[in-house]
Amino acid sequence: MVEFAGHSVSVRHDGQGPAIVLIHGYPLDGAMWSSVARRLADRFRVWKPDLPGRVDNPTSAEGSMSSYADFVQAVIDSADSPVGLAGFSMGGYVAFELMKRRPAPVKALALVDTRAASDDEMGKANRQAAIATVRAEGLGPIAEAMLPKLLSADGMKRADLLERVRRIILRQSPQTMESDLTAMRDRSDSSDLLPLLSLPTLVVAGEHDVISPPGEGRAMAQKISGARFVEIAGAGHLTPMEKPAAVAQALGEFFERALSPKS
């Protein structure tokens, strides 16, 4: 259990070894990491928390990256050991917010299908339009609009994968989705942070990611001293669900080196 904002929050974790905290993206929850986490649990103690407002996290979703980072900081503190941190998409924005605080327990950082730049004016307008859709029509239109953005063309042909992703999206509350959209719309730009990062860093992107293309990921890695870039072949944006074995291999090799007592 993690104590946060007056609540005891149950956070799923499994395995033994160095601690890894996996931060999920929008419009999802920690279950998006399940297939990756199972593959890592033989070497690591893997935490996959739900950010505030989800089914397993009763704390209030306050619509800011800072509040989400506060919760992840509480998870890191409860791990009570040096940790590796991986953030997918919006989870990467949360990770950037945390890294601006330079938390001592975070010893390695993986940025998965994410970007450092803030939303431009068109991006902000799109977030606001999505908020209006959630308020007027609920989550159904959001799910159908997001699926082809999250998955590659081949991924869209996999009925089982489509159903799993759709199920995760539809179990969120409209209020939580509005909080996510507001937090992403209003987040600060983290581009200036990249050359200041002084911990081992891995950048991952799907070959066919249309939200944060691999070219952006590669450029981001080049701005971080010593960072490594890995492209996940055949995947769209949601690499941890579409290609979990490849993502687990990349994260496992990276964190094994970065969290080794000799490193």
Q: Is residue 132 part of a domain?
A: yes
Residue 249 token pair:
């291999």
Question: Which H or E run contains 73?
Answer: helix 65-79
Report d(CA 129, CA 136) in Å as an integer: 11
Which CATH number does the domain housing residue 88 bear? 3.40.50.1820
Domain count, the chain: 1
Residue that has been written with the tokens 């890695």 in this structure: 221
Report d(CA 216, CA 183) in Å as an integer: 21
Q: Is residue 233 part of a domain?
A: yes
Report d(CA 188, CA 166) in Å as an integer: 29
Q: Is residue 73 part of a domain?
A: yes
Q: Are 211 and 237 in contact (CB under 8 A)?
A: yes
**Contact residues for 132 (Cβ-Cβ < 8 A; gap 6+):** none
Whole-number pLDDT of residue 262: 66
Q: Is residue 263 part of a domain?
A: no
**Contact residues for 77 (Cβ-Cβ < 8 A; gap 6+):** 105
Q: Are 111 and 220 in contact (CB under 8 A)?
A: yes
DSSP letter, residue 143: H
Q: Is residue 167 part of a domain?
A: yes
Q: Is residue 171 part of a domain?
A: yes
- Nearest partner of 248 among 71, 11, 36, judged by Cα: 36
Whole-number pLDDT of residue 263: 54
pLDDT tens sequence across 88-141: 999 999 999 999 988 889 999 999 999 999 999 999 999 999 999 999 999 999
Report d(CA 108, CA 199) in Å as an integer: 6
- What domain range includes position 237? 2-258
Identify residue 246 by its one-letter amino acid code: A
Cα 90–Cα 94–Cα 99 angle in degrees, nearest 5: 140
Return per-residue pLDDT of the chain as tens, 263 residues: 888 988 889 898 899 999 999 999 999 999 999 999 999 999 999 999 999 999 889 898 899 999 999 999 999 999 878 999 999 999 999 999 999 988 889 999 999 999 999 999 999 999 999 999 999 999 999 999 999 999 999 999 999 999 999 999 999 999 999 999 999 999 999 999 999 999 999 999 999 999 999 999 999 999 999 999 999 999 999 999 999 999 999 999 999 999 987 65
Q: Is residue 166 part of a domain?
A: yes
Q: Are 82 and 19 in contact (CB under 8 A)?
A: yes
Q: Are 231 and 216 in contact (CB under 8 A)?
A: no
Residue 182 token pair:
């507001």
Whole-number pLDDT of residue 102: 83
Q: Is residue 130 part of a domain?
A: yes
Q: Are 168 and 55 in contact (CB under 8 A)?
A: no
